[in-house]
Amino acid sequence: METAKALGNGGLAMLWDQYVFRRGPDANELWDRLFERRKMRLLYIAGSGFDVRAQTAMRECVGSIRESGGVVDEAKLVLIEFANYRLDDALQELTKQNRQGLTEVFSELGTIETVTFGASEDGEELSASSALRVGTDAVLEMVSDQTDIILDASSLPRVIYLALMTSLLHRLIPDKDVANPLAAGGVNFQVLVAEDAGLDSQIMAEDPGSEVVLIPGFLGAMQAESVQEWPLVWFPILGEHRINQLQQIMKLTDIPGEAEICPVVPHPSRDPRRADRLLVEYKGPLFDSRGTPTTNILYVHESQPFEVYRQLLGAMTRYRDSMVVLGGCRLVVTPFGSKLITLGAGLACFEMRPSGVTDAPYRVAIPHAEPTRYVVSAQAVTSSKPEICSLLLTGSAYA
């Protein structure tokens, strides 16, 4: 299988030094070769939200399986529903249609199960982080002896796809130090994104939740008393119209004044001014109030998640190594950028996180303030023409 080669990272050994990332027609070509006349047991995870881009991704993928002559022994679609979002009538209708559309497309392959995130089974009061864990646990329970796992992030909120991606990676790569960990017993785990930057910038997130959500496996750095005196390095990944969520995180997590803040902005980007505009948008909380030096700004590629991964992992590693003399450090990543950038950041956090119960002098956290309401015109959603991207993270390509 053809692989692209990362630029290298100053001698740093990285899990995805060699990686597989395809977009547009190249993604179909990847699937054709990946599924070609092969027996497979498939677990397909997708969101049943209002974002109908998930249907495009599924249609393309299912079509490729059919055309490549792949033999599906078993296939299960996990449709994720959300209990705590408020949508207007048009978006609710779109959600219903999306659910129906996804079910129809997948029914030719196999069965469908629904998992609802955010609902407590026994009416017990549930924190946002606990609700996320409970939902992610329910999805992970469905992982058994599949040969292929596909996570479609297109219509999932970022906390959910980050939680699912990192926990699935942990399931497939329990030990990052073994030889050739990405082979993962031959399980092909890929993440799909139906990307449409124009539509993303029109989706407004409102009514942020009153609590910070922490991704399972990435919360100790913000909470454990024994590490609270370690210096903190914060990587807020900036995205349009998320300033209130950023302020909510600053307020609820008490990012200390002496924290090293490294804003991450998309550059290169299709719009060369995008990074500048984001820096102006976030001027108040990051620069006026915290006096963040502009030399701390990190530039990452807008549409290349493995480049984001490489940049962020490199920065985190350098800070970790420098701060060892201070006893340790906490590395905190808050992703507000596009889906591809967020996925790259998630990979960097997964790799950076120390394994198991550890005495490692650093911790990684991903705090997020999730909105409870999305506002976008239904017409804009339905007329979207997304481009499919596929990140193949583990499996035979790496064996």
Partner 1 sequence: MAYNVNPFLERRSERTTSDQEFALVFSPKILEKLSDEAFKGGVHIFRSAPGGGKTTILRAFTPSVLRSFWRAKGTNELRESFPLFVEKGVLDDQEGPRLLGVMISCASGYADLPASASAIEEGPFRALLDCRVVLRTIRSLGTYLGFSSDEALDSIQIEYSDDARDLKNIPAHGSARELASWAEAQEKRIYAELDSFAGRTSQTLPSSPRFESVLWLQAVRFLQDGKQVATNRLLMIDDLQRLRRKQRDGLIDELTVQRPDFPIWLAMRTLVLGDSLLSQGARIGRDINEYALEELWAGPKGIHQFSSFAQNVLDRRMNRQVTVTGSFSQRLRDQLDPDEIRPFVKPGIDAYRTAIQPHEGNVRYREWLARAEKSTSEPTLEMLLGLFTTRILVARDAAKKQLSLDLALPAEEIDEKDTSSLRGAAEIQLHEELGLPYYYGLETFCVMASYNVEELLSMAAVLYDGIVASQVLGKRSPELSPFEQEKLLRDTAERRLSFVPKQHTEGTRAHRLLVSIGGYCRERTFLPNAPYAPGVTGIRLSQSEMNKLQSGTKALGEQGELLRRVLSECIAENLLLQRPSTASTAREAGSILYLNRTLCAHFGLPLQMGGWQDVSCMDLIDWMSRGWKPQKRLAMGG
**Identity of the residue, 27 or 329, whose beta carbon is nearer to partner 1 in the bound complex:** 329
Does residue 89 belong to the site contacting partner 1 (CB under 8 A)?
no
Applying CB under 8 A, which of residues 28, 48, 129, 146 lies at the interface with partner 1?
129
Does residue 171 belong to the site contacting partner 1 (CB under 8 A)?
yes
One-letter amino acid for residue 15 of the chain: L
Applying CB under 8 A, which of residues 97, 247, 377, 396 lies at the interface with partner 1?
247
The footprint of partner 1 on residues 3-32 (CB under 8 A) is none
Applying CB under 8 A, which of residues 55, 190, 269, 292 lies at the interface with partner 1?
292
**Identity of the residue, 44 or 85, whose beta carbon is nearer to partner 1 in the bound complex:** 85
Applying CB under 8 A, which of residues 2, 293, 360, 385 lies at the interface with partner 1?
293
- Can you tell me the distance from the alpha carbon of 341 to that of 118, in angstroms, rounded to the nearest whole number? 25
- Can you tell me the distance from the alpha carbon of 307 to that of 357, in angstroms, rounded to the nearest whole number? 30
Minimum separation from the CB atom of position 120 to partner 1 (A): 10
Does residue 113 belong to the site contacting partner 1 (CB under 8 A)?
no
CB 252 within 8 A of CB 198: no
As to burial, measured by CB atoms within 10 angstroms (0-12 exposed, 13-18 middle, 19+ buried), residue 53 is buried
CB 372 within 8 A of CB 183: no
CA atoms within a 13 Å half-sphere pointing along the CA-CB vector of 165: 30
Axis-axis angle for helices 25-35, 53-67 (nearest 10):
40
- Can you tell me the distance from the alpha carbon of 239 to that of 253, in angstroms, rounded to the nearest whole number? 20
Site string for partner 1, 62-81 (x = CB under 8 A): --------------------
Site string for partner 1, 200-239 (x = CB under 8 A): ------xxxxxx--x-xxxxx-xxxxx-xx----------
Two structure tokens written together for 243: 């300033």
- Of the candidate spans 12-20, 45-53, 146-154, 166-174, the one that interacts with partner 1 by CB under 8 A turns out to be 166-174
**Identity of the residue, 306 or 350, whose beta carbon is nearer to partner 1 in the bound complex:** 350
Minimum separation from the CB atom of position 9 to partner 1 (A): 24
Give the closest residue to 227 by CA, choosing from 366, 320, 359: 359
Two structure tokens written together for 221: 């750095």
CB 75 within 8 A of CB 42: yes
**Identity of the residue, 94 or 128, whose beta carbon is nearer to partner 1 in the bound complex:** 128
Minimum separation from the CB atom of position 208 to partner 1 (A): 7
Total residues contacting partner 1 by CB under 8 A comes to 62
Give the closest residue to 93 by CA, choosing from 58, 130, 52: 52
**Identity of the residue, 131 or 340, whose beta carbon is nearer to partner 1 in the bound complex:** 131
Minimum separation from the CB atom of position 270 to partner 1 (A): 27
Does residue 175 belong to the site contacting partner 1 (CB under 8 A)?
no
E strands within 109-220? 111-117, 148-152, 188-195, 204-208, 213-214
**Identity of the residue, 198 or 284, whose beta carbon is nearer to partner 1 in the bound complex:** 284
**Identity of the residue, 104 or 288, whose beta carbon is nearer to partner 1 in the bound complex:** 288
One-letter amino acid for residue 195 of the chain: E
Minimum separation from the CB atom of position 380 to partner 1 (A): 20
Site string for partner 1, 248-277 (x = CB under 8 A): x--xxxxxxxx-x-----------------
- Can you tell me the distance from the alpha carbon of 5 to that of 136, in angstroms, rounded to the nearest whole number? 32
The footprint of partner 1 on residues 352-371 (CB under 8 A) is 356-357
- Can you tell me the distance from the alpha carbon of 342 to that of 366, in angstroms, rounded to the nearest whole number? 11
Two structure tokens written together for 298: 């990190």
Give the closest residue to 346 by CA, choosing from 333, 336, 331, 363: 333
Applying CB under 8 A, which of residues 89, 125, 145, 177 lies at the interface with partner 1?
125
- Of the candidate spans 44-52, 121-129, 195-203, 267-275, the one that interacts with partner 1 by CB under 8 A turns out to be 121-129
- Can you tell me the distance from the alpha carbon of 152 to that of 161, in angstroms, rounded to the nearest whole number? 8
Minimum separation from the CB atom of position 142 to partner 1 (A): 10
Task: State how beta strands 367-368 and 188-195 pair.
Answer: unpaired
Looking at the chain, list the stretches that DSSP marks H as alpha helix, in order from N- to C-terminal side: 25-35, 53-67, 89-107, 128-140, 158-172, 197-202, 220-223, 243-253, 274-281, 305-323, 339-352, 378-382
The residue ranges that bind partner 1 (CB under 8 A) are: 86, 124-125, 127, 129-130, 133, 136-137, 139-141, 143, 163, 166-168, 170-171, 206-211, 214, 216-220, 222-226, 228-229, 244, 247-248, 251-258, 260, 284, 287-293, 356-357, 372-373
